[in-house]
Amino acid sequence: MSLPRDLGFARRKGTRAIRRAAALYALLLIALLVNAARVQIVESSRYGDNPANRRPMIARYGQPRGDILVDGRAVTGSRDTGGLLRYERTYRDGPLYAPVTGFASQVYGTTLLEAAQDGVLAGTAPQLAPMPAWNDAVRGRSPGGAVVTTLDGAAQRAAYQGLAGRTGAVAAIEPATGRILALVSAPSYDPGELSGTSASVTRAWARLNADAARPMLNRAIRETYPPGSTFKVVTAAAALDSGVVTDPDDATSSADPYLLPGTRTRLTNEASGCADASLRYAFTWSCNTVFAKLGVDIGLRNMRVAATAFGFDDPALRIPFAVAPSTFARKPDASQLALSSIGQFDTRATPLQMAMVASAVAGDGTIMAPYLVERTTTRSGRTVSTAEPRALHRAMSAGTAARLRELMRNVVEEGTGRNAAIDGATVGGKTGTAQHGVGNSGKPYAWFVSWAQADDAPQPAVAVAVVVEDAAGERGEISGGGNAAPIARAVMEAVLNSRPHPLNSPQHPRHCSEPACWGGAFAR
């Protein structure tokens, strides 16, 4: 008779068991979801960055990479291999543009613009996506965008051809904006050799790194050299701004030879007439004795202030990739300060830094921040970002800059830099022959820094620095004017010829006397 009551009890007991099981299953489901969320959100980077995880690599090379452009033309591309890492990077005129593009390798990673602009080129930059949050959620990527450079292709080629067969570097800047017009390092290499995953890539990497000429070293921005007499631009600016020299034509009290303070070492000159020479004469003919003594008279503090104002000892310079800092002597004694003031001892500079020095003279004494990327765009051409010129340093007063332009013009018109002269343009320059090696035993480096302004143009169009490590000729015949100035001239001509009414155009005033030829940038 108690069966119904027992049945009800069993039913209630079974219901409680089902509820407990359901709660357990719900708890397990919640735990599973929480763990999945933890893995996908909190731990995602750990798993995503794990070298054993090949999915990011497959996705990275699963679509064409965006391109780097010069003069509106792509100098990079992508090749469909059909493999697991489907698209390989290709390069047009690879050695010509390698100091700018760098390489993008499935095996060895990315360098230079390929690294600095990787987000845009690979399509992972949030700005490329119409809905960035959605891309993040689904781990998607947009088509690779484009990087439009500031380079002038003709200037780049002129620099590259000028250095052909020699070791050295060239940097060229537009003084008014800081746009980098040329950046060349020689010898160079083909970055396309490092694209792909075949055994040939490994062999190319080993060969390039074993090469004593170091073709993958970007000498324009990553190598520092003693700048020699080109540094006299900085010393002259310091002398004028500090008041140590008030009139460039006044005689200086400078012995020839000059006994370095506290030593028995006598500093001499290649040129004659340097004893008590004026700043103008000493600059035109590159008198070491005058500038060494000026450095001591100016003093370490003022020399350091001047060097820093020109951009020396700046570890933060990027264009957008990092530039090796140029340096001026930290705590030299008087004799070392004298040598540092003529670009020797431990004064060191990149070619880009010395182009910045020339650029400051070409302008009003202001150094504009150098930059290499004009803008970035989506693949469809929508602008993502645009560079804005900005002042980096006030290197000297406008009055001092004007005086230095006169001095640099004298070098080209009358002195050691006559090989840089260009018909139809005003050119200013400074030669340099830098000693190096133990006891100065190395072959001297030939330097030339300059700027050029087309006749009737409102302002200089280009500032250039050239260094040649292995200049041809006997040691005593090597000079900045003989070995580096012709390269600078070719680069400056290329830039001037890319402007309205280029120098070789029949419409340029040097070829035409008609008023119609005087329009545009050459208007009187």
Give the integer Cα–Cα distance in Å for 512 and 76. 40
Each residue's pLDDT tens digit, 3-17: 566 666 666 666 777
* 364: Cβ contacts below 8 Å, ≥ 6 apart: 398, 401
Confidence of residue 31 (pLDDT cuts 50, 70, 90): confident
Nearest to 166 by CA among 490, 494, 495, 466: 466
Confidence of residue 314 (pLDDT cuts 50, 70, 90): very high
Architecture per CATH, 228-518: 3-Layer(aba) Sandwich (3.40)
Q: What does the pLDDT average to over 264-271?
A: 93
Q: Considering only residues 490 and 40, tell me which one the structure prediction assigns the higher pLDDT.
A: 490
Confidence of residue 333 (pLDDT cuts 50, 70, 90): very high
Q: What does the pLDDT average to over 495-504?
A: 74
Gyration radius (Cα) of the chain, Å: 31
Which of 5-14, 181-190, 203-212 is predicted least confidently?
A: 5-14
Q: Considering only residues 214 and 517, tell me which one the structure prediction assigns the higher pLDDT.
A: 214
Q: Which two three-digit tokens encode residue 242?
A: 């500090």
Residues 480/400, Cβ–Cβ less than 8 Å: no
The pTM of the full predicted model, rounded to 2 decimals, is 0.85
Q: Which two three-digit tokens encode residue 130?
A: 């119409």
Q: Considering only residues 221 and 478, tell me which one the structure prediction assigns the higher pLDDT.
A: 221
DSSP string, 29-56: HHHHHHHHHIIIIISHHHHHT-TT--HH
The pLDDT value given to residue 3: 53
**Residue 476 pLDDT exceeds 70:** no
Tell me which of 188, 195, 229, 335 is the catalytic residue: 229
Each residue's pLDDT tens digit, 342-367: 999 999 999 999 999 999 999 999 99
Q: Where is mean pLDDT largest: 45-49, 82-86, 252-256?
A: 252-256
Could you list the beta-strand ranges (E) of 87-167.
87-91, 104-105, 109-110, 146-149
Assign 318 to helix, strand or coil.
strand
Give the integer Cα–Cα distance in Å for 512 and 516. 9
Each residue's pLDDT tens digit, 406-457: 999 999 999 999 999 999 999 999 999 887 544 444 578 999 999 999 998 9
The pLDDT value given to residue 478: 45
Q: What does the pLDDT average to over 49-72?
A: 78
**Residue 510 pLDDT exceeds 70:** no
Give the integer Cα–Cα distance in Å for 290 and 267. 10
Q: Considering only residues 327 and 126, tell me which one the structure prediction assigns the higher pLDDT.
A: 327
Mean of the per-residue pLDDT values of the chain: 87
Active site residue 380: no
Q: Which two three-digit tokens encode residue 43?
A: 């731990």
Each residue's pLDDT tens digit, 372-409: 999 999 999 999 999 999 999 999 999 999 999 999 99
Assign 274 to helix, strand or coil.
coil
The pLDDT value given to residue 20: 80
- Domain spans of the chain, in order of start: 228-518
Residues 365/309, Cβ–Cβ less than 8 Å: no
**Residue 523 pLDDT exceeds 70:** no
